[in-house]
């Protein structure tokens, strides 16, 4: 089976532009997590969904960030308008929510550069 798929792998954009990052979960999984990784702050959880429902979005930096799950296997993370401080690697992780299992499987990430 394919792992978590993220696109694009690299994105370079100018400040003020809208950025959309995409993630496809592992088939059969029902939880999705969006993370941001920087040298200064490490891995930060932005938001996570369980069965398409956002459970915790307390890590979303501000209103410029939004995330959706239009269906059970796909999610988008949108930044509008983007700012240079948003430059980071964004990961999504997929998990099968069941008792006793918290294993998360990460995608390859999207490296975002905002100039």
Partner 1 sequence: GQQLNQSPQSMFIQEGEDVSMNCTSSSIFNTWLWYKQDPGEGPVLLIALYKAGELTSNGRLTAQFGITRKDSFLNISASIPSDVGIYFCAGQPQDTGRRALTFGSGTRLQVQP
How would DSSP label each residue in 18-55? -EEEEEEPPTT--EEEEEEEETTTEEEEEEEEETTEEE
Under the rule (CB under 8 A), what is the footprint of partner 1? 4, 31, 33, 42-43, 45, 48, 50, 55-56, 91, 93, 95, 97, 100-109
Q: Which is nearer to partner 1, 12 or 15 (CB)?
A: 12
Q: Which is nearer to partner 1, 109 or 114 (CB)?
A: 109
Which runs of E-coded beta strand occur in 63-115? 65-71, 74-79, 88-95, 105-106, 110-114
Nearest-approach distance from CB 81 to partner 1, in angstroms: 27
Q: Which is nearer to partner 1, 46 or 79 (CB)?
A: 46
Nearest-approach distance from CB 54 to partner 1, in angstroms: 12
């Amino acid at each position: 089976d394919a792992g978590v798929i993220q696109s694009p792998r690299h994105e370079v954009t100018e400040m003020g532009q809208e950025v959309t990052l995409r993630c496809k979960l592992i088939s059969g999984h029902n939880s999705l997590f969006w993370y941001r990784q920087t040298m200064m702050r490490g891995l930060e959880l932005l938001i996570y969904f369980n069965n398409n429902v956002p459970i915790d979005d307390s890590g979303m930096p501000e209103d410029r960030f939004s995330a959706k799950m239009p269906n059970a296997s796909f999610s988008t993370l949108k930044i509008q308008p983007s700012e240079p401080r948003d430059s980071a690697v964004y990961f999504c992780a997929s998990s099968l929510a069941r008792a006793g299992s918290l294993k998360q499987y990460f995608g390859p990430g999207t490296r975002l550069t905002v100039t």
